Amino acid sequence: MTKHIKHGHGGHGHHGRSQGHGPTAHGHEGGDLDWDVMGPSLEHEAELGLQQYREAARWVAGLPAVREVRRVLDVGSGPGVITCLLAEEFPAAEIIAVDGTPVLLERVRARAERLDLGDRVRTLYAELPADLGKLAEADLIWAANSLHHMGDQRGVLAGFAGLLRPGGAVALVEGGLPTRQLPRDIGIGRPGLEARIDAAAADWFADMRATLPDARQETEDWNALFGEVGLKPQGTRSFLLDLPGPLSGLARDHVVENFARQREVLADRLTAEDLAVIDRLLDPADPAGLHRRDDVFVLSARTVQVAGRL
Ligand SMILES: C[S@@+](CC[C@H](N)C(=O)[O-])C[C@H]1O[C@@H](n2cnc3c(N)ncnc32)[C@H](O)[C@@H]1O
């Protein structure tokens, strides 16, 4: 995934937000990225993970705490791949895609129209937590890979708690495992490249979080945090994305995008030797490169935490 850095913005609001996203779109990484241009890559990433998210949505729908779902807020919806999936999985509900990036909300609308879901999918521009007051009450608040981009995560969760209808639930997709795409030893460079990339990305993520507006350090014990904002934990489960090699064109392109983005985002945090290996991996003509090798795969896990009203 190509990384696009936003330069020269300060202060708060959409354009002042440190727009983290990271070397892999849904990983634990951050950075000063521009959501405006990330639509296609976010869409691509979510499409590859559709089955994983479908399983997650079905598990959430089947929890005893989740009753009749008439309205879903998909907070930090991005381009709406998961928004539309939620519309399919909750056929009696209207789904409101909430995001702080208008061009991504346009993509949500286009996708919903394409899939004939336009009558049940709405969009709402909101910058959280500042715009919490714009959000309608809901039976399910789904926030996938978005809360960690908000400085005051506790404040946002407390806002969610106040928006839940009786019997409502919050489903938070945060954490899991970093994506693995190559074997430990790839025959070039020092074994363990991806583990070193993860370490660099974790460091970068911490810097990204620290520079968000109203940044507040929070121990990522989501169930404890749920309790502190008046929500009762209802279950935690992780869902796998498991695409074994050899990869299809689409999945392979995604891996190439990921490494290209990591190369750019983490250039200052990786050694010259590792950068040289990544350059070989990205070279379409190199027989050891990602375009040509058969041992490239995608394996990742996303964790979903659910909480209901006390
Ligand atoms: C990594 S994307 C996740 C997209 C989608 N939920 C998914 O999992 O595929 C994060 C999204 O959160 C949005 N976002 C980040 N910070 C936000 C904030 N403070 N308020 C509202 N939306 C925000 C971004 O615009 C982006 O669309």
| pLDDT at site 3 | 34
Query: Which of 74, 99, 212 to probe ligand 1 with, by most ligand atoms within 8 A of CB?
Result: 99
Mean pLDDT of 291-304: 97
Residues near 297 by beta carbon (within 8 Å), at least 6 away in sequence: 180, 181, 182, 243, 244, 245, 247
60-95 pLDDT per residue, tens: 999 998 989 999 999 999 999 999 999 999 999 999
Pocket of ligand 1 (CB under 6 A): 17, 21, 25-26, 35, 42, 46, 76-78, 81-82, 99-101, 104, 126-128, 144-146, 149-150
DSSP state of 92: T
Q: What is the overall mean pLDDT for the chain?
A: 90
Mean pLDDT of 111-125: 98
Pick the CATH number of 14-181+214-242+302-309 from 3.30.450.20, 3.40.50.300, 2.40.10.340, 3.40.50.150: 3.40.50.150
| pLDDT at site 28 | 33
169-215 pLDDT per residue, tens: 999 999 999 999 999 999 999 999 999 999 999 999 999 999 999 99
Amino acid (one-letter) located at 285: A
- Smallest CA separation from ligand 1 atom 19, residue: 128
CB 296 within 8 A of CB 255: yes
Instruction: State percent of the chain over pLDDT 70.
Output: 89
- Smallest CA separation from ligand 1 atom 27, residue: 78
Helix H segments across the chain?
Answer: 39-48, 50-62, 81-89, 102-114, 153-163, 193-210, 222-228, 249-265, 272-282
Query: How far does residue 20's CA lie from ligand 1's centre (Å)?
Result: 9
Instruction: State percent of the chain over pLDDT 90.
Output: 86
- Smallest CA separation from ligand 1 atom 11, residue: 76
| Maximum separation of any 2 CA atoms in the chain, in Å | 58
| pLDDT at site 50 | 97
Helix H segments across 164-288?
Answer: 193-210, 222-228, 249-265, 272-282
| pLDDT at site 37 | 87
| pLDDT at site 310 | 72
Query: How far does residue 77's CA lie from ligand 1's centre (Å)?
Result: 6
- Out of 3-12, 30-39, 45-54, 226-235, pick the least confident: 3-12
| pLDDT at site 38 | 87
DSSP state of 295: -
Mean pLDDT of 259-265: 95
